[in-house]
Structures are given as structure tokens and as C-alpha cells.
Chain A
Amino acid sequence: MDSLAIAARDPVAALAERGRRGPLGIAFSSSVPLEVLDAFGLEAAWLPVLPADSTPRADGLMQSFTCTYTRAAADFALAASLPVGLVAHASGCDAQTALQGILLGSLPMASLKLPIAVAGPSATRQARGALREMIAAAAALLGRDPDTAVLSEACALRGKVRARVTEAFGEVAAGRMPAVRAYETALAAQVLAPAAFLDAAAAPAPGPATSPEGRVRVLLSGAHVPSVRAIEGIESAGAAVVLDDTETGTRGASRRVRADAPDILDAIADSLVDGMVHGPVRVLPGRGRIDRLIENASDAGVGAAVLLHHRCCDPHAFEAPALTDALREAEIPSVLIEIDRDSSLSARDLARVQALVESIA
């Protein structure tokens, strides 16, 4: 295993390693621009779903109807073993909003009030104002301002990280990279320092690209991919993931910051509104998201879809029936898997994927 695979499979160890270099800046959402945390001199990372087979600290603070991501995030943030300098959080689903209050008393926390209606009137202005408010709150907590020279450098570096992740999924679609490797890349990008990630990702991928030949080509849609093992599970049931629609994968990496903008903060704020592919948490006009997904799925020659949701994740659960229907109309059968407090697929979930594959093969 190379360093990407190692970091992807043991994100806590990767974060611990970063923590030895300095206080961590932890983002709870792909909508928190990590470059800003970098500019504060924090070891910035976007928290992946952590193995949360037991989350005692969070269990004392959250009911059973909390998604695994939120539970794991709270538990991680409350664990005393790592030096957390700042927790940053962005507006989103009701679980994310709750995290704010739950952690407020125990951790330095800054929140980014991005618009939910990304195409609405004044969304961009709200984002610009909110980003400055978040920076001010973080500066007050940390007792220092972000370094502007570092900010533009970090902005470029983080842009390269996201471009590399996007590229990896492009290679998967073209059959040049196994899906597992692309998810390793994406998960590693969340926790590694940008320079270290780019070094590791520049090396050729270890092992041959297994072709999806003979397996059913699937679209994977959902929020946070809980682990590389989840992908391995899906593929062990006879599927080959060729198209991604997850926060962990292509959505989280989709943000593009305009390089020629006169004001870098404005450019970053704008990228969070109309410079990225949004998931179901944000309000977009009409059925834009689903239509685009179906189009991509047809282009990629997808034969089936796996909806990998976290239990009690409202935004994705609301979308599921319409998405399933649209897929069915496009003759793409799908199966919905709900992850709850574990990071790989249960035997019965595997049976569902397998049944889907068998019904096509």
C-alpha cells in the first residue's frame, strides 16, 4: 500500500500525524474552504466518516436518529487525544446545524452561513458576507488573522488537489483506474496535507487497472462514502463503480475558484455558490440535479445504480424516490443501501447489491 491507500484506510492515524505538526483545523463539510484554514496556519482537513462502531462521547449527546457522519464527527471532535485548534462548519442539513450547538461549549467553532438557495437572489452576496464573518469568528478564537500570502498559495494548491481527485474519477470512467483507487485518492485528499497528497498522487497508481469488463457498470450516489471497504464490498457483489455522485468523490472535488478575480475571498465565496456541483442539501431550481445525473449515467453506459445513504440523512432520503423513478425511466434499476453506524456494507446490504447485479446479468 502506498501513502494514499494508507491514509484513506486509516484516516485517524493520518490526522494524528498531522496533529503532531500543529493544531488541526477540522472542517465538517465539503463547503468549508480548506484554504482558509490553511491560511490560519492550521493543519487543515475535511473530516471523513470515521469508523464509528462505538462512539461513546457522541452517544451521550445525540439521539439514535442522527446520521453516522454527524455522530462520528462529534465523537472525533470531542476526543481529547488530538489537538483541535478550530472546528469549521457550514450551513447544510439539520444534523450539521445541530452539531454547532452541541459542540459549541466544548470546542472553538466557527460556522459558515452559506446560502441554501444557491440560485436565489443575492446568494453570492450572502456567501461573501458569510465567509468574512466566519473568518472574523475564527480570528477571534485563534487570536490571529489569516496570512494573505499563504491564502493565495493555499488556494492554488487546494485547487490542484481537487483537480487531481476529479481526474482520478475521469480515469475510472475511461477504464484506466479501478474505482477503489479513485476513492482512496479522494479519501486521502480529505486528510493529508495538500503538498504531501500531491506528491503521493503524482506517482503512478500501484497495480494494474482492473477493467470493469464483465461486471455491471454502476453509478454510486450518496453523501459521504463511509470507507474504501464499502466500495470493495459493492464491487465484490459483481458491480463495477464507473460513475460517482458523492460528496466524498466528485461533488466535493468539483469546486473551481476563478483565478483572475480581483478579490480572493470573493472568488472563494463565489466558488461555494456557483462554482461547484451541489448535492441535495442545497436548493437548486427545478430538477436540475436529477436530470444532470441521468444524463451522465446514460453517457457513462451505466447499467445500474447504488444509492449509498446514511440512515436518517434527510436530504438524500427526500431525493431517493424521485431519483429512483428517473433512473427506472432511463432503464437503470437501482438499490438503496442505508449505512448506520458502520463503515462497510452488512451481509444483507451485499445481498441487495448482488440481487441487483443478478437481475441484470
Chain B
Amino acid sequence: MSRAVGLDIGSSATKAVLVEDGRPVRAVVLASMPDMHDAAVRAVAEVGGDGAPVLTTGYGRLLYEPRCGDVSEITALAAGIEAVLPGTATVIDIGGQDSKAVRVRAGRVADFAMNDRCAAGTGRFLEAMSRVLNVPLPEFDSVLASSPAAVPLSSTCTVFAETEVVGLLSRKTPVGSVLAGLFASVAGRVAGLARQVGPAAPIAATGGTMRCRSMVAALSAALGAPLVVPPDPQVVTALGAAILCERRSRA
């Protein structure tokens, strides 16, 4: 039996996936902070990967030893999506620090685009707004369900958006409407990114943010195309790394 671990050390979460004979057997998600290295070590242990080769990816990919190598999160994402949703042509990932759109051909990267430095259109933007609104991320869906009419938000800059949101709330705009506006804003930004690579169907969406159904709906609306979300959207990149790792150790 061949075993391999993919370890995705991200800025906010560290994800590990163990595969055996090309099939995922376990996945673990831990908070990266305050000690990224420690989180990585624990993730490998908890996923049951002791002794198996580890291929790292993500922001902290060079932190972990011993590893059999490292790949960029873009390459890993392409490999991962091919494993969970074979035939995917475009995958859009909204991560904590950045979002990306990748054109995939047979599990390999054909083209990609990543957001610039600004936080707009990333998980960080939503987190910042979650603090301003005092609504924790996991509750977004239920708050939204209660008041569906979105108020358009013009600012995409985190600082400006914050003042705008405070202004709206002080004028008694329902929190749900503001939230819907925020989703639309992030979705618009990410859709723009996706258009840079000319998104072809079928389009998949991944990243922790995609666990939020409203985010998926907003993104789909902004793209004007249906989206497929794999069951465990947060660990697709780690899975891709695991698969590439197994392939490498076999070679």
C-alpha cells in the first residue's frame, strides 16, 4: 500500500490530508496561529501520517521538515480538484489571505490569476467585516436568511468598506442586508479575477469560505454561471499535494 500526506500550511488554517493508494482517508484542519510550525507538526500527526512522505504547500510550505518536496498552492489546487471533481475546467479558491482562479487541464495548471495585495475579495475582508458587524462567520448564512435584500456597497477597500458599513448600520440598515452587500462585493471582486483567466465550465469553488452557502450563491450570481462545491472545500489543496506526493514517491 502506498501512503502520502499533503500538508497545506496556510496563513490562517493548516490542513493535512492522508491518501492511501490514491484515495483520501483522513483530513485534519487546525488553526495555524500562533505557531505555524507546531500546527504543521500536529496536523501530520493527527492525520496519521507518521512515516509517510509529506509534500508541503501553502504560505508556510518551507517551514516543515522532513518533506519530500514542496509545490505552490496553485499546482496543488489543480491536482486536488481533478481528484474530487474530475473534468473541472476552472477552479476558484477564496482563501484567508488571497483568492485565486486557476484554469485546469487534466489536473494541471493552464493559466492562473491571483488577487493583488489588497484584501478585497479574500477571506480576510470577510473576517474584518465579521468583526465590525459582530456576527461570527459561521452565523452568516442564518443572518442572511432572515433579511435577503442586499444594499449595494461601493467600497472594496477594507478601510473604506468599514466606514461604509458603520455608516449603513448607524442609519439602521438591517445587518442581513449589509452582509448580503458584502458578499456581493467579495463575489464581484473574485469574479473579476476569474474573468482574467477566461473561466470555462465546469467551474468549481473551493476554500474555507465556500462552506458558507451564501458566499457560493453570491459568487455564482456574479459569474452568471453555476458552481460546483466539493464536499470538503477547505482541504482540496492539501489533497492535491498528497496526490502529487504519492505520484512523486512512486516515480
CA distance A58 to B247 in the complex (A): 51
Please tell me which stretch of A143-151, A284-292, A350-358 contacts chain B, meaning at least 4 of its Cβ atoms lie within 8 angstroms of it: A350-358
CA distance A108 to B60 in the complex (A): 47
Q: How large is the interface on B (under 10, 10 to 19, 20 to 34, 35 or more residues)?
A: 10 to 19
Given contacts A348-B98, A359-B110, whether A354 and B117 have CB atoms under 8 Å apart is no
Residue of B71, B74, B98 most packed against chain A (CB within 10 A): B74
Judge whether A311 is part of the interface by a CB distance below 8 angstroms.
yes
| B117 in contact with A351 (CB, 8 Å) | no
Judge whether B75 is part of the interface by a CB distance below 8 angstroms.
yes
Judge whether B217 is part of the interface by a CB distance below 8 angstroms.
no
| B75 in contact with A340 (CB, 8 Å) | no
List A contacts of B50 (CB < 8 A).
none
Given contacts A338-B117, A352-B72, whether A359 and B59 have CB atoms under 8 Å apart is no
Segment 310-361 of A: residues with Cβ below 8 Å from B: 311, 333, 338, 340, 347-348, 351-352, 354-355, 358-359
* Chain B positions 39 through 67: 1 when the CB is less than 8 Å from some CB of chain A, otherwise 0: 00000000000000000000111000000
List B contacts of A359 (CB < 8 A).
75, 108-110, 112
List B contacts of A348 (CB < 8 A).
59, 97-98, 114
List A contacts of B38 (CB < 8 A).
none
| B109 in contact with A358 (CB, 8 Å) | yes
Given contacts A359-B108, A359-B110, whether A351 and B97 have CB atoms under 8 Å apart is no
Which chain B residue shows the least CB distance to A360? B109
| A358 in contact with B75 (CB, 8 Å) | yes
Residue of B73, B75, B116 most packed against chain A (CB within 10 A): B75
* Chain A positions 287 through 304: 1 when the CB is less than 8 Å from some CB of chain B, otherwise 0: 000000000000000000
Given contacts A338-B116, A340-B117, A348-B114, whether A354 and B59 have CB atoms under 8 Å apart is no
- Within the complex, the shortest CB–CB distance from A179 to chain B, in Å, comes to 21
Segment 104-156 of B: residues with Cβ below 8 Å from A: 108-112, 114, 116-117
* Chain B positions 82 through 109: 1 when the CB is less than 8 Å from some CB of chain A, otherwise 0: 0000000000000001100000000011
List A contacts of B61 (CB < 8 A).
351
CA distance A340 to B117 in the complex (A): 9
- Within the complex, the shortest CB–CB distance from B160 to chain A, in Å, comes to 13
| B117 in contact with A347 (CB, 8 Å) | no
CA distance A219 to B64 in the complex (A): 31
| B111 in contact with A351 (CB, 8 Å) | no
Which chain B residue shows the least CB distance to A348? B98
List B contacts of A351 (CB < 8 A).
59, 61, 72-74
CA distance A338 to B74 in the complex (A): 18
| B74 in contact with A352 (CB, 8 Å) | yes
- Within the complex, the shortest CB–CB distance from A360 to chain B, in Å, comes to 9
Given contacts A358-B75, A359-B75, A359-B108, whether A352 and B59 have CB atoms under 8 Å apart is no
Given contacts A347-B59, A348-B98, whether A355 and B116 have CB atoms under 8 Å apart is no
| A355 in contact with B72 (CB, 8 Å) | yes
List A contacts of B112 (CB < 8 A).
352, 355, 359
List A contacts of B59 (CB < 8 A).
347-348, 351
Can you name 15 A-B pairs with beta carbons within 8 Å? A338-B116, A338-B117, A340-B117, A347-B59, A347-B60, A348-B59, A348-B98, A351-B74, A354-B75, A355-B72, A355-B73, A355-B75, A355-B112, A358-B74, A359-B108
Binding site for A on B (CB under 8 A): 59-61, 71-75, 97-98, 108-112, 114, 116-117
Binding site for B on A (CB under 8 A): 311, 333, 338, 340, 347-348, 351-352, 354-355, 358-359
Q: A333-B111, A338-B117, A352-B72 are in contact. List 20 more A-B contacts (CB 8 A).
A: A311-B116, A311-B117, A338-B116, A347-B59, A348-B97, A351-B61, A351-B72, A351-B73, A352-B74, A354-B71, A355-B72, A355-B73, A355-B74, A355-B112, A358-B71, A358-B74, A358-B109, A359-B108, A359-B109, A359-B112
